[in-house]
Amino acid sequence: MCPYHGLRFDGAGRCVHNPHPGGQLPDAQLRVYPLVERHALLWIWMGDPAKADPALIPDFSWLSDPKWEAVRGSTVAEGHYELYSDNILDLSHANFVHPALVAGAFTEGERKFWQDGENVFAEYIRLDDYLSVGISAVMGTEGSKQDFYGLVQWHAPAVLYFDFRAGNPGTPREQCTLLPSLHAFTPETLDTTHYFWATARDYKLGDAEFTAAMRGALEFAFEQEDMPIIRDSHRLMRGEDFWSLRPLILGGDGGGVRARRMLKRLIDREQQTEQEDADGNARQV
């Protein structure tokens, strides 16, 4: 439905309802895009409709699974969407941007970055150390050392899953308490990004006060701490190409750099295929 004057359209883009006097249906045809509702999210495909493949949607089933209680939010953020992916893949920033999330895990822990197929991974492991103040409060582990396992998985173009686990020292990784998170970025313009985030837990279900505290802490971290610093980085770049600025690459950027290279390869490949399709069509004509 058009939010401005209330005309309604069906899934094929035809006008099916006109609430204005007379009610005649205008002969309007909207452009339509393949859209799938899955895991409590809407996944839109804005490329060649013939190439839309719902099997490519990553598994975020915890978002719609009643075993998990998720806090979630969305906002429009200033800055190019790739800067937002960089931010999630590089957790070392937590120690400088998020006073409540400072932890040895992010700068002194073991970290690894790799690629598997078209996915990029960033892993942070720190055994037998204190978690940050903020995370200890969410996990109820204040004052006790924990084993920490953090794994970020990037999916093109900018959908990230953060698998955050902690448990008493020696707990097998798969038995640690899991806090799964989604960070998904949809470009709005070259300078603005729709930021969708969610974090879930499988304990204290139905505890509204706990949920509100968790939401407040996450909203504050993403919207009051990450967003301003990414916005300012973006403004300083003044629309220039990222690599032409010869960025200083730090050890924590192994994930972000891989994701940027992968995305470029995928975009180049798509444009090449589109060009070949266009040439093929031209020959047939």
Q: How far is the CB of 209 from Fe ion (least distance, A)?
A: 25
Smallest gap from Cβ 124 to Fe ion, in A, equals 13
CB of 5 to Fe ion, least distance (A): 40
> Does the protein bind Fe ion through residue 90 (CB under 5 A)?
no
**254-284 vs 81-89: helix crossing angle, rounded to 10:** 140
Count of residues engaged in binding Fe ion, rule: CB under 5 A: 1
2-41 positions binding Fe ion, by CB under 5 A? none
* Nearest distance from C-beta of residue 222 to Fe ion, angstroms: 7
The pattern of x and - marking residues 207 through 226 that bind Fe ion according to CB under 5 A reads -------------------x
Distance in Å, CB of 230 to Fe ion, minimum: 9
Of 82 and 226, CB closest to Fe ion: 226
Rounded CA separation 204/182 (Å):
20
φ, ψ at 83 (rounded to 5°): -65, -30
Q: In whole angstroms, how close is the CB of 103 to Fe ion at the nearest point?
A: 12
Nearest residue (CB) to Fe ion, 150 versus 167? 150
* Rg of the chain over all Cα atoms, to the nearest angstrom: 22
Looking at residue 184, the DSSP 8-state letter turns out to be E
Are 84 and 230 in contact by the 8 Å Cβ rule? The answer is yes
Total residues found in the chain within this entry? 285
Contacts of 269 (CB under 8 A, 6+ apart): none
Return the number of the residue (90 or 147) whose C-beta is nearest Fe ion.
90
Q: Which residue is nearest to Fe ion (CB)?
A: 226
Strand ranges, E, within 168-258: 177-187, 192-201
224 exposure class (CB count in 10 Å sphere: 0-12, 13-18, 19+) = exposed
Cβ proximity to Fe ion: between 49 and 99 the closer is 99
95 vs 115, beta carbon nearer Fe ion:
95
CB of 225 to Fe ion, least distance (A): 6
Nearer to Fe ion (CB atom), residue 226 or residue 253: 226
Cβ-based nearer residue to Fe ion, 100 or 257: 100
Residues 223-242 touching Fe ion, rule: CB under 5 A, are 226
DSSP-derived letter for residue 14 is B
Q: Is 221 helix (H, G, I), strand (E, B) or coil?
A: helix
Q: 142-160 burial by CB neighbour count: b if 16+ within 10 A, else e?
A: eeeebbbbbbbbbbbbbbb
Judged by CB under 5 A, the chain residues 154 through 193 that form the site for Fe ion are: none
Where on the chain is the footprint of Fe ion (CB under 5 A)? Answer: 226
